[in-house]
Amino acid sequence: MAKDWKPLPHAPIAMVFGLLEHLRDASGGREDLYKLGGPLGLELDDLLPVTEAAKQLGLVKIASGDIELTAEGRALSAAEAPERKERLRRRLLELPILRRIREALQEAEGGRVRKQEFLKRLEEHFSPTEAERQLGTALDWARYGELFDHDPDTEEFVLAS
């Protein structure tokens, strides 16, 4: 698979923030990975997308069974709401799928592109079901970062103003 379409883990943003807060309380901003499972009551299917999301966003490092906040992860979790959003927005733009959609919208007339176009591109790399999920997660994160939105009336993605 082309590196440019690195799949997004399907994790809600609010859960990623919860992970950062949890690590901020842990001594040295570091925790044994297994402690996020059993003791915190998170199943692997819930936990792994969140740790992967935080990793892709450059907010945590994972090594030899430990998960640890990066400097950016620490700064982001300590920031007040507007700054936190701005920091995350910059991190989100580092993710290939989000960046590519955003760039396509910037180049398009009126900042609009049909959702179907992106789905077609993603289906070159993912199954139809997964392509749809990838786009759903991309949209969810993009809305948080106010990067782009979806217009249900026209089935278009729209650049956020």
Partner 1 sequence: MDATVVPAEADRKVLVRLDAVEQLYDRKIRILGPIDLEIREGEFLSLVGPSGCGKSTLLRIVAGVLRPTRGRVFLGDRLLEGVNRSAALVFQSFALFPWLTVVDNVALGLEARGLGVHERLKKAEKYIDLAGLAGYERAYPKELSRGMKQLVGVARALAVEPELLCMDEPFSALDVLTARTMRDLVLDLWASPQVLTKSILLVTHSIEEAVSLSDRVVVLKANPGRIADMVDLTSLPRPRRADAPAVREVVDRMYTLLA
Positions touching partner 1 (CB under 8 A) are: 12-19, 21-22, 25, 40-42, 46, 50, 81, 85, 136, 139-140, 142-146, 149-152, 160
Cα(116)–Cα(82) distance, integer angstroms: 33
Shortest Cβ 80–partner 1 spacing (Å): 9
**Block residue for tokens 């999301």:** 53
Please name the amino acid found at residue 8. L
User: 120 to each of 84, 114, 129, how far by Cα in Å?
Assistant: 33, 10, 12
Pair 58, 70: CB distance under 8 Å: yes
Shortest Cβ 82–partner 1 spacing (Å): 10
Q: For partner 1, which is the closer residue by CB, 1 or 81?
A: 81
Shortest Cβ 79–partner 1 spacing (Å): 13
Pair 60, 68: CB distance under 8 Å: yes
Q: For partner 1, which is the closer residue by CB, 3 or 48?
A: 48
Q: For partner 1, which is the closer residue by CB, 104 or 160?
A: 160
Token pair for residue 145?
């970062």
Shortest Cβ 3–partner 1 spacing (Å): 27
Q: For partner 1, which is the closer residue by CB, 1 or 82?
A: 82
How many alpha carbons fall within 13 Å on the CB side of residue 46?
11
Q: For partner 1, which is the closer residue by CB, 72 or 149?
A: 149
Shortest Cβ 120–partner 1 spacing (Å): 21
Phi–psi pair at 11, nearest 5 degrees? -120, 135
